[in-house]
Amino acid sequence: MSNGSTFPPRRRFGGTLVVLAALLAACAAGWLVWRSTSGHGGDRPPKALPAASPSSPGGAPGKDGAGGTDRTDDGSGRDGSGRPAPDASDGKGDASGSGPGGRAGTRLKGKTVLLDPGHNIRNRDHTREIARQVDVGNGRKECDTTGTSTDDGYAEAAFTLDVARRARTLLRAEGAKVVFTQDGDRPYGPCVDERARAGNEAKADAAVSVHADGAGAGNRGFHVILPARVTAGAADTSAIVGPSRRLGEHLAGRFVAATGSAPANYLGGGTGLVVRSDLGGLNLSGIPKVFLECGNMRDAKDAAQLTDPQWREKAARGIAEGITGFLTE
């Protein structure tokens, strides 16, 4: 007579299989959830969201690269000597560093980028030399200007060099070759025609001239200056107008995302994009190139950002990501 001792072992074994199967299914589901949320599904950052594509022509002529008032400063800013501030990158980054997406990469391997830090902190000592007129194709402009400054003396030239050096480190981390028009190593300048020529001679794939504006207080935000179609004298921008616009749109989109800054409220119709035909650095360029006015140094709220090293790092990241987006589109 059976007391049931023959069958219970089989029932227990079958129950064990059911439990094991359930555990395996749960582990697999958990692994899939972890993979989808940890970013391991892809190494490329999201493509830049372009700013509104229609740009407003205009932008008041002023210094080469700004629509505002050109002012001479005393260079007494925090890093007004032209040397990198203690918090600034030394520009010696390489492909082993962290790129714009926060990881080392080679997305820009084989690409050359021209960064043009606007003005020169020593221009103030060479006013005669920088006042010399140079041919920009459709007219003549000053060789260079001193640039503007914040009310407390932080020079635009110090700002542009600091941000460009930070962006250089990020771009090199993505494998790019980065060429500078000046690195605080010149007595003045270079002139605007030489700045354009530097990118042409380097056969750069993209060029960005870094600036900060000098418009009146209350005028806030950034804007990207795109080249107009100019065919006069030595200038012929026909081939670069289209790609320069795409570069500008990538740059505007990424700059917003990285810094939280809004497009300029005083020109560009809220797009952050402006077209100009009076800038030698654009007119004489044979490669895709734009100017970026990162903010307005004469407005107290913008100046507080421009003088903040942490914000400048964000600005550099926006520049690097914008260039990377353009070159990998």
> 322 with 242: CB under 8 angstroms?
no
Rounded Cα distance, 67 and 215, in Å: 7
Most distant CA pair in the chain, distance: 118
- Residue 175 burial class via C-beta count within 10 angstroms: exposed 0-12, middle 13-18, buried 19 and up: middle
Q: Token digits for 313?
A: 């790092």
In degrees and rounded to multiples of 5, residue 250 shows phi and psi of -60, -45
Whether the upstream peptide bond of residue 190 has omega within 30° of 0, thus cis, is: yes
Please name the helix (run of DSSP H) or strand (run of DSSP E) that holds residue 276, with its range, or none.
strand 273-276
Q: Is 293 a catalytic residue?
A: yes
Q: Token digits for 76?
A: 């007494």
> 215 with 298: CB under 8 angstroms?
yes
Q: Token digits for 210?
A: 């870094």
Question: For residue 201, which amino acid is it?
Answer: E
Rounded Cα distance, 305 and 150, in Å: 11
Q: Label each residue of 76-109 as H, E or C.
A: CCCCCCCCCCCCCCCCCCCCCCCCCCCCCCCCCC
**Out of 156, 174, 249, 293, which one is annotated catalytic?**
293
The DSSP letter of residue 125 is: G
Rounded Cα distance, 311 and 319, in Å: 12
Q: What residues act catalytically? A: 293
